[in-house]
């Protein structure tokens, strides 16, 4: 960081998604922020795709942990939607708490959250108090959706539409599409 006044301190980088924290100057941010600080500017498309996927992965983990604490939402998923606990776990459904953005800000900067489509142009959180549904392709998160209990579904800004459960289609000759995309 160039802070010569302090002795000691370490730069920590999360191996899974690259977020960093300098324990000398206390600066933190995403892998791409660190990459830029070190003089290696990532390609815009590379940064956008990777950053979204990593942010969504963290979002899903937070939301999964929060769902356990929401008996009304679990009841809705089980009784009104007919999901079993096994299905909820397999598809990693979760619940977006009101402080979701604050929790994500522990790792990600506001530009990463905007890029992932989780914030409006005026930095208003788009996902809270919703059931979060991750969409995967080959075990990588390609988008997320947020559904209000008994209400509408919202997708992130500036994100492509994907077929939910597309990986389940491999090897099947006949497929039934029920709703959605």
Is the model more confident about 166 or about 84? 84
- pLDDT at position 181: 64
Q: Which residue has the tokens 């730069």?
A: 11
5-35 pLDDT, tens digit each: 766 668 888 776 667 888 888 888 877 778 7
Confidence of residue 50 (pLDDT cuts 50, 70, 90): low
Query: Whole-angstrom Cα distance, residue 5 to residue 175?
Result: 65
pLDDT at residue 79 tops 70: yes
pTM to 2 decimal places: 0.70
Cα separation, 149 vs 39, in Å, equals: 46
Lowest mean pLDDT among 18-22, 99-103, 104-108, 143-147: 18-22
Secondary structure of the chain in the HEC alphabet? CCCCCCCCCCEEECCCCCCEEECCCCCEECHHHHHHHCCCCCCHHHHHHHHHHHHHHHHHHHHHHHHCCCHHHHHHHHHHCCCCHHHHHHCCCEEECCCHHHHHCCCCCHHHHHHCCCECCCCCECCCCEEEEEEEECCEEEEEEEECCCCCEECCCCCCCCCCCHHHHCCCCCCCCCCCC
Q: pLDDT tens-digit profile of 114-169?
A: 888 998 888 889 889 999 999 988 778 889 999 999 899 998 877 778 888 888 88
Mean pLDDT, residues 55-83 taken together: 95
Query: What CA–CA distance (Å, rounded) separates 134 from 140?
Result: 10
């Amino acid at each position: 960081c160039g802070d010569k006044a302090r002795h000691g301190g370490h730069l920590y980088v999360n191996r899974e998604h690259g977020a960093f924290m300098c324990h000398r100057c206390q600066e933190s941010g995403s892998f791409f922020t660190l990459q830029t600080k070190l003089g290696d500017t990532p390609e815009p498309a590379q940064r956008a795709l990777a950053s979204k996927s990593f942010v969504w992965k963290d979002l899903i983990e937070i939301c999964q942990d929060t769902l356990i604490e929401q008996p009304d939402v679990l009841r809705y998923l089980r009784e009104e939607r007919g999901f079993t606990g096994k299905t909820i776990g397999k598809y990693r459904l979760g619940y977006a708490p009101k402080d979701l953005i604050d929790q994500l800000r522990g790792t990600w900067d506001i530009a990463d959250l905007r890029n992932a489509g989780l914030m409006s142009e005026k930095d208003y959180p788009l996902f809270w108090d919703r059931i979060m549904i991750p969409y995967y392709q080959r075990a990588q998160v390609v988008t997320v959706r947020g559904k209000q209990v008994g209400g509408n579904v919202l997708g992130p800004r500036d994100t492509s539409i994907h077929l939910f459960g597309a990986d389940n289609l491999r090897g099947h000759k006949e497929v039934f599409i029920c709703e959605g995309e």
